[in-house]
Amino acid sequence: MLVSLRLPSLSSLFSPSISGRHPAVLLRRYHRWFSVFAAGFSAQSTLADYGPVRGTMVIRPYGYAIWEAIQDYLNMKFKETGHSNMYFPQFIPYSFIEKEASHVEGFSPELALVTIGGGKDLEEKLVVRPTSETIVNHMFTQWIHSYRDLPLMVNQWANVTRWEMRTKPFVRTLEILWQEGYTAHATLEEAEKEAIQMIDVYTKFSYEQAAIPVIAGRKSKVETFAGAIRTYTIEAMLGDRKALQAGTSHNIGQNFSRAFETQRSLTKSCARSLLMKVDRGNMYGRLHGLSVPVLLAVFMTHGDDTGLMLPPKVAPIQVVIIPIWKKDDDRAGVLNAASSVKEALQAAGIKVKLDESDQRSPGWKFNF
């Protein structure tokens, strides 16, 4: 039987060496579950640190393992729905961003621009990817020549950069890990069906993997994604009574296909019916499609003032084995027995850690 792994709480979001940069009262506001340690792991299990650039963070192995568990599940689901993984460039010509007016208006204050490369001024400014609609639609224009090329369904796991003025770890940072999927369809009905299908995928993930209660629905016109005609989201209801947008799916109609003149490359019979649609989880945002903030939803749904509770399916470690011996002569036999238990649990598909370190006593490990 699997049980949730409770990890003890600490007083700061990040590793002790740098947590002093921010007042403790501020950290308490956003809860205290980010510098989390499993028994016997010491600093190796810290989830994240502040990066050297203000507004960035470094995700450590234990924290990234939770993100990998999310990737594993969603990758399987995306491929089941017909998406193929690929990768688009991180640098986007500024002229691409300008082609879709509402899109550039929505992102303009957050854009990070590159103006110098190789020691020389660039002829055209480059945008560090805030999202990938423009570069994706530029490529779709080259790939789609007829209705026979539809639907086209791709997905990428990438990072995006948005120059946020107010940043919080795992909530809103300058650079964000996320997943973004893009599809092209021949009719508006197909695009809408896909938009709803993908928000259903995120909803099932929330309940089945992350054990997070969410509310799925359509955003108001004011909250609709820049350049889209409809936006659907899942809103996670957190322990502090606040909602977090944990995944999004957008129907962008013909807005981007018109801007990038995709219709001109189609046969006449299909020219009037091409519709584009984006499904993104923002993780990410913010998990932006779906993005790293979904980790925050996990922490703030299952954590409390006594520590972090991780759902078994996303927990990097589900069982910790702590061997105990009285005499040094007993050590080898106990460790052999513990190793056998570990192998049996691993064979059953359980993620196990054998803590054979001798820097701390078993009592310390149990009570840390």
Confidence bin at 257 (pLDDT 50/70/90): low
**Least-confidence region, from 26-35, 279-288, 317-326:** 279-288
Average pLDDT over the chain reads: 77
pLDDT digits (tens, 9 = 90+) for 83-97: 999 999 999 999 988
Q: Which residue has the higher pLDDT, 164 or 86?
A: 86
Phi/psi at 343 (5° precision): -65, -40
| pLDDT score, position 359 | 82
**pTM, full prediction:** 0.77
Q: Which residue has the higher pLDDT, 278 or 214?
A: 214
Question: Given a cut of 90, is residue 339 above it in pLDDT?
Answer: yes
Q: Which residue has the higher pLDDT, 109 or 80?
A: 80
| pLDDT score, position 334 | 93
Q: How far apart are CA 246 and CA 295, in angstroms?
A: 9
Q: How far apart are CA 195 and CA 62, in angstroms?
A: 32
In the structure encoding, which two tokens stand for residue 208, read together? 């089945």
| pLDDT score, position 104 | 63
- Asked whether 66 and 99 are in contact (CB, 8 A), the reply is no
Question: Given a cut of 60, is residue 254 above it in pLDDT?
Answer: yes
Q: How far apart are CA 248 and CA 107, in angstroms?
A: 17
Give the containing element (helix H, strand E) for 206: helix 188-208
- How much is the average pLDDT of 333-348? 94
**Least-confidence region, from 34-38, 50-54, 147-151, 363-367:** 34-38
Helix (H, G, I), strand (E, B) or coil at 340: helix
- How much is the average pLDDT of 50-70? 91
Helix (H, G, I), strand (E, B) or coil at 255: helix
| pLDDT score, position 75 | 94
| pLDDT score, position 278 | 40
CA distances from 349 to 9, 319, 320, 344 (A): 27, 11, 14, 9
CA distances from 309 to 128, 246, 294 (A): 36, 19, 15
- Bridge partners, residue 251, by sequence: 230
Confidence bin at 265 (pLDDT 50/70/90): very low
Q: Which residue has the higher pLDDT, 31 or 121?
A: 121
Q: Please tell me the number of Cα atoms within 13 Å of 51 on its side-chain side.
A: 15
The domains located in the chain, with CATH, are: 68-302 (3.30.930.10), 319-367 (3.40.50.800)
Dihedral sign computed on CA atoms, order 76, 77, 82, 87: negative
| pLDDT score, position 263 | 56
**Least-confidence region, from 79-88, 133-142, 234-243, 300-309:** 300-309
Q: What is the largest CA-CA distance in the chain?
A: 84
Please name the residue that has the structure tokens 């995700």.
59
Q: Which residue has the higher pLDDT, 257 or 10?
A: 257
- Of the candidates 185, 326, 300, which has an alpha carbon nearest to the alpha carbon of residue 240? 300
In the structure encoding, which two tokens stand for residue 48, read together? 């994240």
The region that residue 336 occupies, defined by phi over 0 for left and psi between -120 and 50 for alpha, beta otherwise, is: alpha
Question: What is the helix, strand, coil percentage profile of the chain, to 5?
Answer: 35, 25, 40
Give the containing element (helix H, strand E) for 127: strand 120-128
| pLDDT score, position 34 | 39
**Percentage of residues in the chain with pLDDT exceeding 70?**
76
Confidence bin at 258 (pLDDT 50/70/90): low
CA distances from 227 to 70, 140, 221 (A): 28, 17, 11
Q: Please tell me the number of Cα atoms within 13 Å of 175 on its side-chain side.
A: 13
Confidence bin at 368 (pLDDT 50/70/90): low
